[in-house]
Amino acid sequence: MDGSAMPVVRSTCPYCGVGCGVLLRADGAGGLDVRGDPDHPANRGRLCSKGAALGETVGLENRLLTPRVDGQDMGWDRALQHVADRFSQTIAQHGPDSVAFYVSGQMLTEDYYVANKLMKGFIGSANIDTNSRLCMASSVAGHKRAFGSDTVPGTYEDIDEADLVVLVGSNLAWCHPVLYQRLLGARAARGTKIVVIDPRRTASCDGADMHLALEPGSDVALFNRLYSEIYDGGACDADFLRHTSGYDETLHTARIESGAATGLSEAEIIAFCRLWMQHEKVVTIYSQGVNQSTSGSDKVNAILNCHLATGRIGKPGCGPFSVTGQPNAMGGREVGGLANMLACHLELENADHSAAVRDFWGVPSLPNKPGLKAVDMFQAVGDGRIKALWIIHTNPAVSMPEADAVRDAISECPFVVVSDITDQTDTARLADVLLPATAWAEKDGTVTNSDRTISRQRSVLPAPGQTRPDWLILTEVGRRMGFETGFQFDRVAEIFREYAALSGIAGRFERDFDISGLAKITDQQYDDFSPQRWPVTAAREGGRFFADGQFFHSDGKARLLPVSWRPPAARTTRRYPFRLNTGRVRDQWHTMTRTGQSPRLSAHLAEPFLEIHPEDATASGIHPSDLVEVSSPTGVSILRARITDAVQKGQVFAPMHWTAETAPSARIDALIAAACDPVSGQPESKAGVVDLRRFDAGWYGFAIAQKPMHLTADYWALARTSHGFRAELAGRLQPDDWEAEARRLFDAPTAVLTTIIDARRGSARIAAHADGLLLGALFVSPTPVAIMRDYLVTLPGTRAAGALTGRPAADAPNPGPTLCSCFGVGVNTILEAIETRGLMSVESIGEALGAGTNCGSCRPEIAELLNNLLTREAAE
């Protein structure tokens, strides 16, 4: 069928917690046309670069299409029976706590519900934890301590209505781009002030009125100081304080701190506190700079204290706002995916809650103690306490701290099942059993976004090969383990109804999460479901929490919590003098199994890097484009130097995305210690300690090819392009024979080689052709290869006779590195337009070139380009 005849299906983007609605239409040839849904309340038609490129990620090239046991393809029946038998045998021999599930905030609510029910309800252990432990656990803990439940009080509309938005440890411009665009829209309309609190200058700072580059981990000191200033400035809300307890103790503790630990000047701190107090409508958005810390829960409570003391919570335009990372991080919290929770925000250790869930599920008992949290779980895998492990929808061999130890633990575990959409992940390669899951565009279910809005994901493409949805795989294993009664689900809507009914029990215990109004939803209504914010009960739908001063602690009050600043667990020393910060880039999603398939998204930053301050680079003898060897007490990495004053002296930043599949020496979690917040169990992914050394490369290389390359160099990084692949390489010692190397690299034993080799200088250029078309080309030099990469990547598969010159013909344009991924506009094109056409604003560049006018994700970078050019001109 031709694409225009296919129906348009409403669904939700599978990436970040903004939860944008998308309109999908299959093109009839396996591809997908993706547009923003103008009717979805989260995005009103907008998409960011990742959402807009979803169509490039649905190909079947790397998909896992059949179950596989011990490397052999196998039918579902035998594979499922094998999984069920091995889990049952392990439980029979070693007890229920010898098995574990490690799941993900990217699973759909229905998948999550079934996994949780199987482990906590039927296997009888609480050893199910989720990658949300690495992500939201500190926010959950902070919410529970302050409010008595894990409740996000506000809504996205608060961002539209605020006068001041404070971003704490959040690079919203890159990580929640559509929300950031919404914030910029509000600023344009009503002059919203923006403050960014982040040790690093990020793309989110470009539109900000103030950037506080505080010392890593010192947020508690800053917000304690704000708390004292609120008191001194008479900004407390005396009426609201009657709904809280702990005011005096909190003030006493806050008073001890001057804010000195933040490293900010007194003038900066005072300016921030004044701004905060002057604006009644303030939203404090926070994310991983807050959560991923050994004082993450305390950071959360320090922020909540300030909002509670001023009564700025649950009212239009104000409130603390923990933005969720993954598309269903919120749903996973609701459904009890964490090892210390039951479903529907019920407490595992509360006897009444536990009894009610037990009866609802019709099981004899539930585990009475929390299960192992992620870091402890993998330690238990490592020391042999966990003997059977099922990993679903996450890639812990890359994303867990001490990733080398985690990888080794998984590979030593007697029985490991991995459910994924591809077998080409660091974790999948370690599995005994691989189970092929249907991917986002092929499956049905619900997700909950950052502002409690539940949306449908709907299948638009057929399930390829033998793939099955995660809920069905879990259900089938549950049945085969002998738990037929609990797992009589034949379609997702049945699971949703059961879950909604269970939430009614939570409602009876006066918990916040109650969607019992949806318990009788018909299959048709489920199919037609429009986005809806919880709670959904007979009495109430959506809205904000806490403006009425009613909280979920037994006395109905909120707790102000005295918290004290603590430095990060790992201290810098002479051996490890640098602080390692880690996080995300604009166009990649986590371990790149999906975004890495998109040439457009891979063009933005094609290589793993380390941001270093210019003075540190000079002192360490590191030059632009050098490779840097980064060592920590737990591992070593090699990354490309990016010398920039966006990071402060003594601090370095590296992205988390690269893996053994894409750049084996850049698995950044190998360098991060497994130090955790004592309350939440969330690891401190943002504050490692490292030493730096220039990597002493004997040669550097750049290669392009039509097919994936056989890469074995000491350093390599592979990325997809519109014409195939590109790779950066480097090695300590030059190989003897570059021609043989090129043949091996391109898997082209009989290709025609054109070569320019200068053995004395150590440089080589080799092009491999077959049937007159370019298979690949390799450029080697004793120094980092300076060459027009963005031109070369367009050559594989063409005749490319002059490829070895490395540059286009004199009259052909060289666009430079891609900045706008939607329209493929390069830096050089933009610079040239600024210089020759006098374009002086982001808007005029957009009008002339299209850049920045679709998703807007690159607008902060265009602004920075303009800004750099203008400051340079001003200085000249």
Ligand X SMILES: Nc1nc2c(c(=O)[nH]1)N[C@H]1C(S)=C(S)[C@@H](COP(=O)(O)OP(=O)(O)OC[C@H]3O[C@@H](n4cnc5c(=O)[nH]c(N)nc54)[C@H](O)[C@@H]3O)O[C@H]1N2
Least distance (Å) between residue 140 CB and Mo ion = 13
- Residue with smaller CB distance to ligand SF4, 182 or 279: 182
In angstroms, the CA 831 to CA 747 distance is 39
Least distance (Å) between residue 198 CB and ligand X = 4
Binding to ligand X by residue 591, rule CB under 6 A?
A: yes
The radius of gyration of the chain's CA atoms, rounded to the nearest angstrom, is: 27
122 binds, among ligand SF4, Mo ion, ligand X, none (CB under 5 to 8 A by kind): none
Q: What part of residues 290-349 is at the interface with ligand X (CB under 6 A)?
A: 292, 325-326
- Ordered alpha helix ranges (H), 608-726: 614-619
680 binds, among Mo ion, ligand X, ligand SF4, none (CB under 5 to 8 A by kind): none
How many other β-carbons are positioned within 10 Å of the β-carbon of residue 394?
28
- Residue with smaller CB distance to Mo ion, 325 or 371: 325
In angstroms, the CA 353 to CA 331 distance is 19
Binding to ligand SF4 by residue 23, rule CB under 6 A?
A: no
Contacts with 99 (C-beta within 8 Å, 6 or more apart), sequence order: 87, 90, 91, 123, 125, 127, 386, 387, 388, 389, 390
Q: What part of residues 352-391 is at the interface with ligand X (CB under 6 A)?
A: none
Site size with ligand SF4, rule: CB under 6 A: 14
51 binds, among ligand X, ligand SF4, Mo ion, none (CB under 5 to 8 A by kind): ligand SF4
20 binds, among ligand SF4, ligand X, Mo ion, none (CB under 5 to 8 A by kind): ligand SF4
Binding to ligand X by residue 211, rule CB under 6 A?
A: no
Strand (E) or helix (H) holding 139: helix 137-147
Binding to ligand X by residue 630, rule CB under 6 A?
A: no
Binding to ligand X by residue 421, rule CB under 6 A?
A: yes
* Contact of 360 with 386, CB cutoff 8 Å: no
* Contact of 342 with 120, CB cutoff 8 Å: yes
Residue 582 forms beta bridges with which residues? Answer: 654
Between the two ends of the chain, the Cα-to-Cα distance in Å is 60
Binding to ligand X by residue 253, rule CB under 6 A?
A: no
- Residue with smaller CB distance to ligand SF4, 187 or 385: 187
Residue 766 phi/psi, 5-degree rounding, is -135, 125
Binding to ligand X by residue 861, rule CB under 6 A?
A: no
In angstroms, the CA 700 to CA 697 distance is 7
Query: Among residues 135, 283, 610, 612, which is the contact residue for Mo ion, using CB under 5 A?
Result: 135
Site size with ligand X, rule: CB under 6 A: 58
Q: What part of residues 671-690 is at the interface with ligand X (CB under 6 A)?
A: 672, 685-686
Residue number closest to ligand SF4, CB atom: 51
668 binds, among ligand SF4, Mo ion, ligand X, none (CB under 5 to 8 A by kind): ligand X
421 binds, among ligand SF4, Mo ion, ligand X, none (CB under 5 to 8 A by kind): ligand X
Per-residue CA distances from 380 to 257, 384, 395, 606, 693 (Å):
39, 6, 18, 36, 34
* Contact of 197 with 207, CB cutoff 8 Å: no
In angstroms, the CA 871 to CA 852 distance is 22
Binding to Mo ion by residue 396, rule CB under 5 A?
A: no
**Which range, of 14-22, 190-198, 550-558, 658-666, touches ligand SF4 by CB under 6 A?**
14-22
Tokens representing residue 872 in the block: 């340079």
Angle between helices 247-256 and 296-309 (to 10 degrees): 120
Q: What part of residues 122-181 is at the interface with ligand SF4 (CB under 6 A)?
A: 176-178
- Residue with smaller CB distance to ligand X, 305 or 516: 305
DSSP 43: T
Binding to Mo ion by residue 332, rule CB under 5 A?
A: no
Residue number closest to Mo ion, CB atom: 325
Least distance (Å) between residue 587 CB and ligand SF4 = 10
Angle between helices 859-875 and 827-837 (to 10 degrees): 50
Site size with Mo ion, rule: CB under 5 A: 2
Binding to ligand SF4 by residue 53, rule CB under 6 A?
A: no
- Residue with smaller CB distance to ligand X, 149 or 427: 427
In angstroms, the CA 335 to CA 121 distance is 13
What percentage of the chain's residues is helix, strand, coil (to nearest 5)?
Answer: 35, 20, 45
671 binds, among Mo ion, ligand X, ligand SF4, none (CB under 5 to 8 A by kind): none
Peptide bond into 535 cis (omega under 30): yes
Least distance (Å) between residue 688 CB and ligand X = 8
- Residue with smaller CB distance to Mo ion, 557 or 590: 590
Q: Could you tell me the sign of the dihedral formed by the alpha carbons of 447, 449, 454, 457, in that order?
A: negative
In angstroms, the CA 515 to CA 240 distance is 28
Least distance (Å) between residue 261 CB and ligand X = 11
- Residue with smaller CB distance to ligand SF4, 514 or 587: 587
Residue 779 phi/psi, 5-degree rounding, is -120, 120
Give the footprint of ligand SF4 on this chain (CB under 6 A): 13, 15-16, 18-20, 43, 47-48, 50-51, 176-178
Which parts of this chain interact with ligand X (CB under 6 A)? Answer: 16, 104, 106, 131, 134-135, 168-171, 174-175, 197-200, 202, 216-217, 219, 287-289, 292, 325-326, 392-396, 398-399, 419-422, 425, 437, 439-440, 470, 581-584, 586, 588-591, 593, 656, 668-669, 672, 685-686
